Structure 1
C-alpha cells in the first residue's frame, strides 16, 4: 500500500474475531490499534465530535497487529482480523458528472444506448461539437445557461449536461448503510453487464451537521451499459452486492490536512488484468467543475438531514476509452482484474473484480451491528 504520512490522523474499522464484530481502529507508527470504547463504539460517533482528530490521537487502545499483517489477511475470513470499510452508520451518497471529461463520456453512453461498439463514432462526433469548451464554465452561471441554449439548438442537449453545467448537482444513493466493502475485498459487477469500469474518487466524511471531517478513497463501480440504456436504471447500475469500495482508512482533517488538500488531490488508477492487460489512469481534483463544499451543501442541509452523517463520493475525471479486446470495443472489466486506486496522503485502495453474485453476501446489517455492540456492553 502507498505509504501514508506518519503524522496522518487515521481512523478505520476491522473485523475482530474475538467479538465476531467490527472494531474502530487507528494507525500509529505502522501498528493498528483498537480504540473502540463506550464513548465511541462507531466511526460515526467520532465523526460527530467537535474534534475527531484530537480524540483519535489521544484515544487509549490495544495493539492489534502490524499494518502489513492486517493487509495480508484474507478479507471475509471471520476467523482472522481484516480491514473493513472505514464507515458504519453513515449514508453512502455519490455525486455524478462533476468533471467535464466524464460528462462528455456520459453523453456518449446515453447516445450509444449502452452499446460500446457505437460509442467510438459518437465520441468523435460529440467531442467535435463539445470538446473542452465546457471545462471552465461554472455550473449554473449565465455562461452555462448560454451554452445550454446553444447545445439545445444543435440537438446535443442531454440529461448529463443538465447536471454537469446546470444549477443542480447529481446526487444519488450509491449503497446501503454498512454495505460498502473495504481494502482487499472483491468488488462486484452485476452479471447482466457487459460494459463497465472502475471510478476512482475521493470520498468525504460529513457529520450530521454538514461539517466535512475527513476524506478517503472510493471505487464507485459503474455499469456503463446499464446506465447508458436509461438514467432510470441508475440504481441498478450503481447499487449491487459489493459494488461500492471505500478505504483503506479515513484521514481525519487536522492542522496538517484539510479540504484544500482534497481540492488538490491527484488520484491514480491501475487495472491489472488476468489476461496481462494493464490500464493506467488519473483523476485530478483540480479539474472538478463543482467545489466539494458546494456538493456537500447540495446534499445535506435544511432540505435533507442525515442524523448519522454521510460518506460522499465526489465524482471522477476518469472515463476509460482504451480498447481491451478489439478495436472500437473500449474498456470493460474482466473477472479477476486487480484495481488499485491511490493518492498521496490517502494511501491505496486495492480490490479484485468479481460478479456480485459470486462476492460474499452482505449479511451484517444495522440490526446485527446493534446486537453485537449490545452484547459487548458498548451501547
Structure 2
C-alpha cells in the first residue's frame, strides 16, 4: 500500500501555499480503503474517487465541481496522509536547462565523478565560458558560434550541447506510481559518494498536451555516477524513492498562471544530522528554455494518454564544502531537505539510502486490484 514509506513528522499547514484557501489544487491521500484523488477548492478538501478514481482521470475531467466529491473538511485539519499528487502520469524530466547547471555537468564530466577535482575545474571553466554561455538563446546563431569556439578550445561537452543546442534534454525520471510525497523518505544509492537534491518546479500536463498546473519536486541526482559517464544517467536518476513531488498540484486559473512558474523563486534548505545547514536558491526566470517549449519538445514525437509530469530543471548547484575542503557538498543519511516557494508550498523529505527506504511494492497491478475491490472502475471514461 502506498504510504508505507516512513513519514517525517511535518506540520501540513506549514507546508501549504501562502494562499491555499484561494487556489484550486489536486492531489492524493491515503484512506483506509486505499489511495484516493482529492480536489481542494477554497481550502476544503474533497475525495473525488467516486467521480475519478485516479488523478490522471481527474485531470481529464477538469473543470469539475468539487461538490461532486465527498467533503473531507478543511485542508489544514486533514487527518489523512498526503501521497505524491500524481499516479498514472509518466514522470519526465529536463536536464541542463540553466547555464550554471550546464557548467556543473561539464565539471562532473571532466572530474570523472571525483568531487576533489571539481574545484579547480570549476574555476577554469567559469573563466572561459561562464559569462558567454548565459548570454545566448539555445538553438540560436549566437549559440552555434559559441559552440564552435568551445570546440576550437577543446572545451565542448555533451552537456553544453543540450544547454545551448536546439534540442533539450528530456528523460524519464522514474516509473509510474514510484514517486513519493510530502514527509516521505527520499533515497540515494548506497554506493554513491557525491550527490545532491535538485529543487524544481514540475508541470502537470494532461493527455491533450496542455500544462494544467504545477507542483514542487526533488529530482535527486548522483553526481559521481553521471559524472563518470552520461550513459549512467538511469542509475544516477532512477532508484528506489529517488523522486519526490508535492505537496499538491496547483491548477492554473486566472490568479495562478504559467507566468507564476516562469517567475518562481525556489528556496532550499538542508539540515544535516550533525548540525550542518545548507541554504540554496533557484530562480526560474534564469531558465534557458521556456517551460512551454520544454513541454513542446517532450511532446514532439510522443503521446502520453495518461498525461505526464515534467521537471523543469534547476539552477541550484551546491559547491559549499561539507566535510573536507574542496570536496563540496554531498548528502548524509538523515538530511532533511525542504524545497519551497510561496504559491506552491513546501516539500519536505528525509534522506536515506535507496536500499533502506521502504520497498516500492504498490504498482499498477496493485492499484487496479484495489480500485476494482472498491468498485471504482465502472464508468471511468
Q: Does 1:22 align with 2:5?
A: no
Whole-angstrom distance in 2 between the partners of 1:108 and 1:219: 21
Change (3 A) 1:65 1:355: farther
Number of residue-to-residue matches in the alignment? 362
Deviations 1:306-357 (A, max 9, x none): 1111000000000000000021010000100000000111000000000000
Per the alignment, in what secondary structure is the counterpart of residue 135 of structure 1?
helix
TM superposition shift of 1:57: 4.0
The question of whether the paired residues in 2 share the 8 Å contact of 1:107 and 1:161 is answered with yes
TM superposition shift of 1:65: 6.9
Deviations 1:30-57 (A, max 9, x none): 55432222x31111112223xx2x3154
Name 1:7's counterpart in structure 2. Answer: 22
Name 1:165's counterpart in structure 2. Answer: 164
The question of whether the paired residues in 2 share the 8 Å contact of 1:9 and 1:251 is answered with yes
The question of whether the paired residues in 2 share the 8 Å contact of 1:272 and 1:278 is answered with yes
TM superposition shift of 1:29: 5.6
Name 1:137's counterpart in structure 2. Answer: 136
Could you tell me the TM-score, scaled by structure 2's length?
0.92
The question of whether the paired residues in 2 share the 8 Å contact of 1:100 and 1:132 is answered with no
Structure 1 consecutive aligned stretches of length 4 or more whose deviation exceeds 6 Å: none
Q: Does 1:33 align with 2:32?
A: no
Per the alignment, in what secondary structure is the counterpart of residue 247 of structure 2?
strand
The question of whether the paired residues in 2 share the 8 Å contact of 1:136 and 1:289 is answered with no
The question of whether the paired residues in 1 share the 8 Å contact of 2:44 and 2:71 is answered with no
For residues 1-379 of structure 1, the aligned pairs below 5 Å read 1-4=14-17, 5=19, 6-17=21-32, 19=33, 21-28=34-41, 30-37=43-50, 39-49=51-61, 52=62, 54-55=63-64, 57-63=66-72, 67=76, 70=79, 81-301=80-300, 303-379=301-377
Unpaired runs of 5+ in structure 1? 71-80
Unpaired runs of 5+ in structure 2? 1-13
Whole-angstrom distance in 1 between the partners of 2:142 and 2:106: 20
The question of whether the paired residues in 1 share the 8 Å contact of 2:40 and 2:75 is answered with no
Could you tell me the TM-score, scaled by structure 1's length?
0.93
Whole-angstrom distance in 1 between the partners of 2:258 and 2:158: 29
